[in-house]
Structure 1
Amino acid sequence: MKTLKIDQLRPTQVTHGMREIRDKTKAYRSLTGHDLEMAIAEKPVPVVLGPGGAPFVIDHHHVATALWRADVKRVPVVLVSDLSSLSTAGFWLTMENNRWTYPYDAHGRRVSFTDMREHVWELDDDEFRSLSASVRDVGGYEKTAVPLEEFRWSDFLRRNLPLPENDAEFDALVRQAVKLAKSKAALGLPGYLGPSD
């Protein structure tokens, strides 16, 4: 399987969840040798080649960032599409049409593609992105193959819950968010499970 240096990978989103990255980084740092190699091989990073042949990450931004923070320099990649022949404008239009990019900041506001970061580890922290992952991890909704599902959940939670100011508030918010995720208000979101019996 082909590998690329993590510092070559270009992000296609503006935010990520630092809580999730810290947890993943800690997990990767706890592994050595064959165990670390297997963990890295489990999550190849899907990329699309853009203008100039630059590899743009369309999933696993958190994985790539956590590995970089754990001093891993290269990751296996899977080529999803080669759009290197397109103009910059045509590239981003195609990326958006395929739902391979999410140009929104931590407040849910659209940003220009020219404001995309250069490296995966430079993304802004979005507490609601971490919250959506935590809610999924404790069974608030199911993981699906729907592109950008975590961001749809993040935006839903952002509209309905206050921004946590510290770890205790975040932990309390997870419980509220799970209830909200299983309510009728979340009907239609990917992985929706409905009320618990």
Structure 2
Amino acid sequence: MNALKIDQLRPTQMTHGVREIREKIKQYEALRGHELEMATAEKPIPVVYGPNGTPFAIDHHHVATALWHAGVKSVPVVLVRDLSSLSLGDFWLTMENNRWTYPYDAEGRRRPFSELPRHIWELADDEFRSLAASVRDAGGYEKTSVPLEEFRWADFFRCSLPRPNDEEAFASLVTKAVKLAKIKTALGLPGYLGPAA
């Protein structure tokens, strides 16, 4: 398995959930030596090579960001596709067609690819992305292999719930969002579990 420096990886999304990252940082900082190496090896970063051989991370942005904050400089990567021969326009078209990129900001608005951050740890915080992860962890929906699953749930919650402004508001929102995840309106979302019995 190859390894790349985290500062070489280009992100393919504009936002991430800082709450989720803080938890991962704590987990990684608690590990040392072989344990940390094993934890890092468990989640290799899938990459696509773009123009000029630039490596773009297409998943595990939270993992790479948390590891970087925990002082880890390199991560194992898995090459998914080499698109380095494509023009920039064809590259992004291919990335979008494969659902390997999500150029939407923390308000759910589409942005130009040129506005994607340079480094993986520079993504903006999206509270609804954190909410989507917390709702999944609380049993609101199942984890699936559908690309960008959490972003789809984040956008669903963004349309119905207020943005939380503190820890208490966030905790209250998780309870509301778990109920919301069970309604029929959420039926088409990945991992939908249906109404609670």
For structure 1, the 5+ residue unaligned runs are none
Runs of 4+ in 1 over 4 A off after TM superposition: none
Q: Match of 2:121, SS?
A: helix
Matches within 5 A, 1:172-187: 172-187=172-187
Q: Displacement of 1:135 after TM fit?
A: 0.4
Distance 1:131 1:185 in 2: 18
Which residue in 1 is equivalent to 2:37? 37
Instruction: Say what the alpha-carbon RMSD is for the aligned residues.
Output: 0.5
**In the alignment, does 2:177 pair up with 1:170?**
no
Normalising by the residue count of structure 1, what TM-score does the alignment of the two structures yield?
Answer: 0.99
Bigger mean CA deviation after superposition, 100-109 or 182-191: 182-191
For structure 2, the 5+ residue unaligned runs are none
Distance 1:82 1:93 in 2: 14
Deviations 1:134-186 (A, max 9, x none): 00011110010101010000000000100000010000100000000011121
Q: Displacement of 1:35 after TM fit?
A: 1.1
Q: Match of 2:56, SS?
A: strand
Deviations 1:17-58 (A, max 9, x none): 000000000110011111111110000000000000000000
Q: Match of 1:99, SS?
A: coil
**In the alignment, does 2:107 pair up with 1:99?**
no
Distance 2:35 2:132 in 1: 28
Which residue in 2 is equivalent to 1:46? 46
Which residue in 2 is equivalent to 1:142? 142
Distance 1:84 1:25 in 2: 32
Matches within 5 A, 1:13-24: 13-24=13-24
Q: Match of 1:155, SS?
A: helix
Which residue in 2 is equivalent to 1:158? 158
Distance 2:73 2:196 in 1: 43
Deviations 1:92-132 (A, max 9, x none): 01000100000000000000001111100000000000000
Q: Match of 2:47, SS?
A: strand
**In the alignment, does 2:81 pair up with 1:81?**
yes
Question: How many residues are paired up?
Answer: 197
Q: Match of 1:160, SS?
A: coil
Distance 1:30 1:91 in 2: 39
Q: Match of 2:159, SS?
A: helix
Which residue in 2 is equivalent to 1:2? 2
Which residue in 1 is equivalent to 2:131? 131
Distance 1:73 1:161 in 2: 37
Q: Displacement of 1:195 after TM fit?
A: 1.2
Distance 1:67 1:140 in 2: 27
Q: Match of 2:72, SS?
A: coil
